[in-house]
Structure 1
């Protein structure tokens, strides 16, 4: 907290009664002293039941200071002379308590705040972005999800070139022209634009400058087909979410083939076939792959079997049959496997018996019977097994009696 917040109580000088008047502007030498002198002193105001978290604990000095300022927020015109960490805590408390308004936001202009999280906060608009942008080079993280911010408001951030994280999920008023501001954010490591019509193939050209990007979330962005070509140089990317980007096809996936640091890839409900999966064979660090509802078949498993680091594989509602399932045998590190709503039978389960690290297996609505579970009895780490709408009965479940870690077996028979 620096010298201001570490001063001993004995260092506070006595003041006349005039010093207790609320100042219109804080300074780095007087802010905490004034707060201390205006804190409540009665035992009824502050609980003294001991340390630790939870009800009844004694609040810290910083918490008392922040609470006092938030209570009297209308009395202040600016916090720009406060230490940044104190201003940050006051701002966060106002947001958490839903007390930040147009007027109180203005007091944080030029406060060098690091993080501004306004996701789903009511009333966030372009005018607010002027204050947000006034933090300039100090600003590291911004979340304005579900706001009414437009291209104009987003462009205010152009001077905040040290930005590391930006979330603009469900921002309906941001167009592809507003994305231009991203070209100056070369330090950005995390970017999220869920369900944005503003993210288009053409607009994604600015992504080429985001060479330090680690996490990218484009879930439900329906206009990005043809735009992934601008991502081929993002070699530091580790997590990519394109769930429900319904128009992504095989031709898009080929631009991911050189992103060898990818660890998590979400592609559910995309128009990707076995050909598209073949472009992923070089992603040796991939641990999570979600292909739910993609039109792939068991033929894609040959390419997937080369992903030796894979720990989670979701093939729910794909076109998987028994033929080709022998490729599962190579996925020795798998912990979570979802094969629900596929056309597999007991013959497929033969190829799962060597997956000794498996902890969760979903076989919902698959064409398996009691004898198929015999192949799973060696999966001693299995804790969750989904068997709803299958032909499994009590005889089949007996095959699993030796799996001591099993915490959940769900067997729901179809209603006729």
Structure 2
């Protein structure tokens, strides 16, 4: 148990800069997962079979801390780290327990979104050995204020500090981190009280490599304080509404900058011109008031690998020199004014892997140029006029893995059905042998169109959320034995169709919410032993017998049974699902007492919503 801690991470390894506009400001698939807050978990439940000696020790210590906090300082630091992590992950940590960690050498303190965290919770850092604390994450702890930064100012060796969504932080609080000369990653997303005055504190953070200020709206005039940050390579200013051309001018000498995100700012062609000498690899300008003049500058950036001009007023004229972007791997042109001429300009890009043409004015004839993009893996042609004739050209793309095709605006008769292309020329189905993902939600795809998917055995993810799909269509897909995710949320699937799902032994995620499933249908699902996420909501005929079948899915982590007829008597069947962490029970006749008993005695990590 005294082994040296080997948990160090590179800053940002688990904390990805988000910037909404990178993916269009809205997800391609509507999300149905829910962020939940579980009940505190006691540690007097039976240990899991096969638990190691260290795991048993951690459980015992956590239980003793709940009764009376004793100092953990004499313990090896890797053990105290795991104790803190266990308390946080099980939502068992209380403010009083933190006294036990005074004097402990904790490398990571990660309490993002932890309920009830206040400034005083960090007092143990001020009184302990915080010299080895490298990473602190308090994101979305809404009660955190400037006083919290007073407690952590002695943690001079911090390398990563994440304070996203800490809405009470102000310029005054930032003064406490001015001496953090080892800090490489600072994230303050949504901290709207931070202004240009507070940005003066960044000048002393000489090791800073990643600075995330997304959705901070009062930064105008403060970017001159960043000019000495020679190691800074990533700067996220997405949705910073006060940022304009003058601010970007301050960045023109920062030659180490490779990733710049200025989506939804006031930056115009003038500001983009200030960036011409930077060796940018990523540039996101979605929604900026730029024109083709900016594209002339952008096309002169040979290092560029990822470019987004979504929602920008750029046209074909701006992309005349796009073939010079020889290192470009990802290009987002969605909702822009480009057409077929741009497709001709980019057809020679040797490394392009991802292309978003959502709502662009491209035609069937223009898609002919796409056949030259030999490295293309993913293309989005949602809400474009492209039909079968145009998409037939995609069969030449041997490495294509994903075709995204949401049709949000066109009526069903205009919705493109990719499978019809393959039906017309069945041999083409094998040409797309590397295709892994197809999304056909809200399209006019019907049962007969699904026949052509049968040869595409490389598919791992298939979205068929459509009322046009039924058991008949599902019968054509039983050859797709490699599927790991299948979305039939609104499809008309009955118990007969559910029986066909037994073919998908690798399935980990299933959405089956069309209302046609009964207990008999759920019985067929118990053979899907790799299932992790199961959504059976809206099936009003499900009873407690379904829970008996579900109890065989030992790896299940998320279960949605909203609007079903399950009762208190069925809940105990879930106790065998030791991996279950999320359970949705809206509009079910379930007593909170029964659920609390399940959590306390069997499933301490379980989070539940929907109880009356």
TM-score range, shorter chain: 0.7 to 0.9
1:98 aligns with 2:91: yes
Instruction: Give the conservation status (yes or no) of the 8 Å contact 2:149–2:177.
Output: no
Match of 2:208 in 1: 213
- The residue correspondences of 1:33-48 to structure 2 (distance < 5 A) are 47=49
- Structure 1 runs (4+) greater than 6 angstroms displaced: none
Secondary structure of 1:88's aligned partner: helix
Structure 2 residue corresponding to 1:253, chosen from 248, 253, 256? 248
Aligned equivalents of 1:344 and 1:4: distance in 2?
Answer: 56
Aligned equivalents of 1:410 and 1:321: distance in 2?
Answer: 23
Structure 2 residue corresponding to 1:365, chosen from 324, 341, 359? 359
Secondary structure of 1:142's aligned partner: strand
Aligned equivalents of 1:335 and 1:110: distance in 2?
Answer: 48
Tell me how far 1:345 sits from its aligned partner.
Answer: 1.5
Tell me how far 1:76 sits from its aligned partner.
Answer: 3.7
Match of 1:31 in 2: none
Tell me how far 1:166 sits from its aligned partner.
Answer: 1.0
- The residue correspondences of 1:117-156 to structure 2 (distance < 5 A) are 117-134=110-127, 135-147=129-141, 148-156=143-151
Secondary structure of 2:320's aligned partner: helix
Match of 1:63 in 2: 55
Tell me how far 1:254 sits from its aligned partner.
Answer: 1.2
Aligned equivalents of 1:121 and 1:412: distance in 2?
Answer: 36
Instruction: Give the conservation status (yes or no) of the 8 Å contact 2:58–2:82.
Output: yes
Instruction: Give the conservation status (yes or no) of the 8 Å contact 2:338–2:362.
Output: yes
Match of 1:338 in 2: 332
Instruction: Give the conservation status (yes or no) of the 8 Å contact 2:159–2:183.
Output: yes
Match of 1:109 in 2: 102
Structure 2 CA distance for partners of 1:396 and 1:87, relative to 1, 3 Å: same
Tell me how far 1:263 sits from its aligned partner.
Answer: 2.2
Match of 1:353 in 2: 347
Aligned equivalents of 1:93 and 1:2: distance in 2?
Answer: 17
Instruction: Give the conservation status (yes or no) of the 8 Å contact 2:147–2:173.
Output: yes
Match of 2:284 in 1: 290
Aligned equivalents of 2:178 and 2:148: distance in 1?
Answer: 16
- The residue correspondences of 1:160-175 to structure 2 (distance < 5 A) are 160-175=155-170
Tell me how far 1:195 sits from its aligned partner.
Answer: 0.7
Say which is worse superposed, 206-215 or 190-199, in terms of deviation. Answer: 190-199
1:326 aligns with 2:345: no
**RMSD between superposed Cα atoms in Å:** 2.1
The alignment's TM-score, normalised by the length of structure 1, stands at 0.84
Structure 1 residue corresponding to 2:381, chosen from 384, 387, 390? 387
Instruction: Give the conservation status (yes or no) of the 8 Å contact 2:136–2:160.
Output: yes
1:82 aligns with 2:57: no
Deviation string 1:158-185 (CA, Å, 9 cap, x unpaired) is 2221121111111122211111011111
Which runs of 5 or more structure 1 residues have no equivalent in the other structure? 6-39, 48-57
Secondary structure of 1:163's aligned partner: coil
Aligned equivalents of 2:64 and 2:192: distance in 1?
Answer: 41
Instruction: Give the conservation status (yes or no) of the 8 Å contact 1:235–1:258.
Output: no
Secondary structure of 1:133's aligned partner: helix
Match of 1:72 in 2: 64
Aligned equivalents of 2:245 and 2:80: distance in 1?
Answer: 49
Say which is worse superposed, 146-155 or 286-295, in terms of deviation. Answer: 146-155
Aligned equivalents of 1:126 and 1:410: distance in 2?
Answer: 45
Aligned equivalents of 2:158 and 2:318: distance in 1?
Answer: 47
Aligned equivalents of 2:246 and 2:3: distance in 1?
Answer: 58
Instruction: Give the conservation status (yes or no) of the 8 Å contact 2:181–2:207.
Output: yes
Aligned equivalents of 1:161 and 1:175: distance in 2?
Answer: 20
Aligned equivalents of 1:406 and 1:261: distance in 2?
Answer: 34
Secondary structure of 1:159's aligned partner: coil
The alignment's TM-score, normalised by the length of structure 2, stands at 0.58
Structure 2 CA distance for partners of 1:368 and 1:159, relative to 1, 3 Å: same
Tell me how far 1:4 sits from its aligned partner.
Answer: 11
Aligned equivalents of 1:309 and 1:322: distance in 2?
Answer: 22
Deviation string 1:242-286 (CA, Å, 9 cap, x unpaired) is 1100110011011112222222111110111111111112222x2
Structure 2 CA distance for partners of 1:334 and 1:4, relative to 1, 3 Å: closer
Instruction: Give the conservation status (yes or no) of the 8 Å contact 1:214–1:236.
Output: yes
Secondary structure of 1:191's aligned partner: strand
Instruction: Give the conservation status (yes or no) of the 8 Å contact 2:62–2:87.
Output: yes
Structure 2 residue corresponding to 1:228, chosen from 220, 223, 228? 223
Structure 2 CA distance for partners of 1:329 and 1:45, relative to 1, 3 Å: closer
Secondary structure of 1:205's aligned partner: helix
Instruction: Give the conservation status (yes or no) of the 8 Å contact 1:116–1:132.
Output: no
Match of 1:52 in 2: none
